[in-house]
Amino acid sequence: MPKVTLKVLANKLGLSTSTVSKALKDYSDINEETKLKVQELAKSLNYTPNAFAQGLRNQESKIVGVIIPSMVHYFFSNIIDGILKEAEERNYMVVLMQSNEDYDLEKKQVDVLLSKGVDGIIISLANKTRDFSHLAKIIDYNIPLILVDKIAKTINCSKVLIDDRKASYDAVNYLIQKGYKRIAHFRGDLNPQNSIDRFLGYKKALLDNNIEFDPSLVYVCDNNSDFSDGYENAEKLIADHGNNVDALFTVNDLLAIGAINYFNENNIKIPERIAVFGFSNWFMSSVISPSLSSIEQNGTKMGEKSAQILFQEIESKHKQKPIEFQKVIIDTELIIRKSC
Amino acid sequence: MPKVTLKVLANKLGLSTSTVSKALKDYSDINEETKLKVQELAKSLNYTPNAFAQGLRNQESKIVGVIIPSMVHYFFSNIIDGILKEAEERNYMVVLMQSNEDYDLEKKQVDVLLSKGVDGIIISLANKTRDFSHLAKIIDYNIPLILVDKIAKTINCSKVLIDDRKASYDAVNYLIQKGYKRIAHFRGDLNPQNSIDRFLGYKKALLDNNIEFDPSLVYVCDNNSDFSDGYENAEKLIADHGNNVDALFTVNDLLAIGAINYFNENNIKIPERIAVFGFSNWFMSSVISPSLSSIEQNGTKMGEKSAQILFQEIESKHKQKPIEFQKVIIDTELIIRKSC
DNA sequence: TTTTTAACCGAAAACGTTTTCGGTCGTTGC
DNA sequence: GCAACGACCGAAAACGTTTTCGGTTAAAAA
């Protein structure tokens, strides 16, 4: 089967490729009749423009790149979901890469995306990423970049995130209003910004309520994508503090669920003996027992918004308009369930 | 910043673009010294070949397309995970699309992938897909195609799947050995093959154990990606059969979890009053209460295998070798937990 | 000295599209 | 009758790469 290109259309109609091209793009200097003839033939022969040639000529790929730390995460799945929806509407393709929380891989993937000529990039950074030169490179290349959730404060680009500090402040504050006083915190890695902010929100809620901040109640879960980390730290928590702790606020639901598993197995009643509050509102949090209170982070909306901004910026760039970076805060919501 | 192309390398060295190109690709008719000079300069100037030009010239994109019904599913996330790993190793990019279980969208996405010139395609079909002309089109275009999990029997291409019939036979058989006799089944859509096969395995296990098959114990959950469907059908099940049912085997974990929720809320003890067995072994099945017995479907391995075969076929095509289609059955495993 | 050969390099075409810049008509205005 | 104009179309260059096919040297063979 011979590929149907502009040239074969042109030959069949006794026209030139330029005329055919212009006819298909509705140029004003082509006769309406010939336009129709060309368009009909194109349709009947199922002509589709060669994407490589277009890319080469127009310097745009109609592809955007997305790098996330991990695929198998409810939150990230939702982000992708939102991005795919927006891309679909605009006939853009999305190439997806996962960094596996590995900085070197993340860096390499940025290079690949740049060399493939993607029109824009959305990244949620790996936890360990401290060096942002690869992001600077994207900006140097003049490729629109959006950071989502796991962001870098110092990089000058649009960002979509939640107010981690406020969200966790609200959660802890809720616990305090409910009467809990000795509230432990399983925090995430020391590095990523939202881990820090969630910790700070936790601390501020304590202070604002005149509860002394006790550093020994804070556990660093640097492997926080693993729920066994939550299980083990729950064990440690009880070993360390015995009855002198009555609530637990975790940096994500996975840790909370690990902890719940430990408490359940050891007959530590939730929420009577200890309350638990998670973060991110994974689907499973609504179906475990006891169901877990959490913070709805709205991954889908974050993905959608990121993509919207990205396409805006791509368009602005195309029109040579200056682009001004946005920082969008997506609303969160306390989801109160039976664990507190 | 001027883009660094073969031409600028050539100019800087007083060579021709052809020589530079050949030097970079280690052609034998280029002097070792000049090769070195070229390669050094290329590295120092950070030369990366233009992907569009390469695609145009070589007719290959180093991109593969993946279409899945839905992103936010543990099983599909795992498939993607496996595919991304394999692609990463081979420096291939993956463009991801989700059909949202919509046939028309699936069809359109195939067209987009074809028009973009991807080197291969992996699809897990939407449940409602009954017409396979879009798949035939892929084969017509001579693009390697792999079907994974949700397959079409009549399409002649490589497939990666599990033995749904055997897996569900084993699960139901296990229930029977445990003494359960009135086993209900929440089946999926009437259309997709694996929904059918899981039903047939259920039926055969009953017959082989001399248990009469009772059609009234089978409920069609045509919206089986929604766990409320499980909840509602559990309600119906109890209304219909009261105490005359002692086990439930569902076509997936989500339905099982919906049912468990209903049973828990209505004080129907699991597994004493009714046992529950799921399918797919979602992560959350291990953390709900009671934990759910299920069938490990090994999504990651399915994704990996699909990608491996795809890249094999792409390579074969490249070498003009004939490709012979494979049908790979991935092992499943009964995961026994507290729900039975 | 002349011919052959090997070693090295470059010219050029091709992939398919887009867009600028003219060019050729026939028509209108004066 | 001539200039000007508008309508329509095509030639050609460009995007960056790959690869074939010669071509130019200098050294080896005759």
The DSSP annotation for A74-139 comes to HHHHHHHHHHHHHHHHTT-EEEEEE-TT-HHHHHHHHHHHHHHT-SEEEE---TT----HHHHHHH
Calculate mean pLDDT across residues B231-243.
Answer: 96
Nearest by Cα to B172 from B329, B295, B330: B295
Give the DSSP H/E element, type plus range, for residue B329.
strand B327-330
Rounded to an integer, what distance in angstroms lies between the CA atom of residue A123 and that of residue B263? 42
> What are the residues facing B95 on neighbouring strands?
A95, B65
Q: Which CATH class is domain A60-162+299-331?
A: alpha beta
Residue B223 in this model has a pLDDT that exceeds 80: no
Alpha-carbon distance of A118 to A112, in angstroms, equals 9
Parallel, antiparallel or unpaired: strands B63-68 and B93-98:
parallel
What are φ and ψ of residue B146, in 5° steps? -120, 130
Environment class of A130 (CB within 10 Å of its CB; exposed 0-12, middle 13-18, buried 19+): exposed
Average pLDDT, chain B: 94
Q: Residue B192: which pLDDT band, with cuts at 50, 70 and 90?
A: confident
- The yes/no answer on whether domain B61-162+299-333 falls in CATH 3.40.50.800 is no
What are the φ and ψ backbone dihedral angles of B16, each rounded to 5 degrees? -100, 160
Q: What is the count of residue pairs from A and B with beta carbons less than 8 Å apart?
A: 122
Cα separation of the two ends of chain A: 66
What three-state secondary structure class fits A160? strand
Name the token pair of A116: 């493939």
Q: How far does the CA of A39 sit from the C1' of C1, in Å?
A: 70
CA distance A15 to A24: 13
Look at B116 and A97 and tell me if their CB atoms are within 8 Å: no
CA distance B333 to B318: 37
In chain B, the residue whose alpha carbon lies closest to the alpha carbon of A227 is: B287
The overall longest dimension of chain A from CA atoms, in Å, is 89
Q: Residues B213, B183: contact at Cβ < 8 Å?
A: no
Site of tokens 């198998």? A72
Instruction: Locate A54 and state its tokens.
Output: 């277009």
A112 vs B226: which has the higher pLDDT? A112
- Bridge partners of B64? B94, B120
Q: Is the CB of A115 under 7 A from strand D?
A: no
Which residue is the nearest neighbor of C20, CA to C1'?
A18
Residues in Cβ contact with A118 at an 8 Å cutoff, skipping those fewer than 6 apart:
A61, A63, A64, A65, A95, A143
Structure confidence at residue A22 (pLDDT): 96
For residue B265, the tally of other CB atoms under 10 A from its CB is: 11
CA gap B68, B122 in Å, rounded: 9
Domain boundaries, chain A: 6-49, 60-162+299-331, 164-296
| Model confidence at B160: pLDDT above 80 | yes
Nearest of B3, B46, B64, B83 to residue A111 by alpha carbon: B46
Q: How close B283 comes to chain A (CA, Å)?
A: 9
Q: How many residues does chain B have?
A: 340
SS3 A324: coil
Which of B70, B96, B115, B264 is best to mutate for the A interface (most A CBs within 10 A)? B96
As a rounded value in angstroms, the CA-to-C1' distance for A30 and C29 is 25
- Per-residue burial over B55-77, b if 16 or more Cβ lie within 10 Å, else e, is bbeeeebbbbbbbbbbbbbbbbb
The pLDDT tens digits for B64-93 are 999 999 988 999 999 999 999 999 999 899
Residues above pLDDT 90, as percent of chain B:
86
Give B36 CA → C5 C1' in Å.
26
Contact between B293 and B336 under an 8 Å Cβ cutoff? The reply is yes
Structure tokens, B129: 């897909």
Chain B closest-CA separation from residue A286 CA (Å): 10
Average pLDDT over residues B330-340: 96
> Which CATH class, in words, describes the domain spanning A6-49?
mainly alpha
Beta strands in B99-157 (DSSP E): 120-123, 145-148
pLDDT by residue (tens digit) across B17-60?
999 999 999 999 999 999 999 999 999 999 999 999 999 999 99
Q: Do A112 and B97 touch (CB under 8 A)?
A: no
Q: CA–C1' span, B121 to C14, in Å? A: 28
Assign B227 a pLDDT band (cuts: 50, 70, 90).
confident
> What pLDDT does B224 receive?
61
Give the tens place of pLDDT for each residue, B297-308.
999 999 999 999
> What are the pLDDT tens digits along chain A (340 aa)?
678 999 999 999 999 999 999 999 999 999 999 999 999 999 999 999 999 999 999 999 999 999 999 988 999 999 999 999 999 999 899 999 999 999 999 999 999 999 889 999 999 999 889 999 999 999 988 999 999 999 999 999 999 999 999 999 999 999 999 999 999 999 998 888 899 999 999 999 999 999 999 999 999 998 766 788 999 999 999 999 999 999 999 999 999 999 999 999 999 999 999 999 999 999 989 888 899 999 999 999 999 999 999 999 999 988 888 889 999 999 999 999 999 9
Angle, alpha carbons A64-A69-A71 (nearest 5°)? 80
Return d(Cα B15, Cα B17) in angstroms, integer. 7
Write down the architecture of domain A164-296 according to CATH. Answer: 3-Layer(aba) Sandwich (3.40)
Burial level of B179, CB count in 10 A (0-12/13-18/19+)? exposed
Same fold, A60-162+299-331 and A164-296: yes
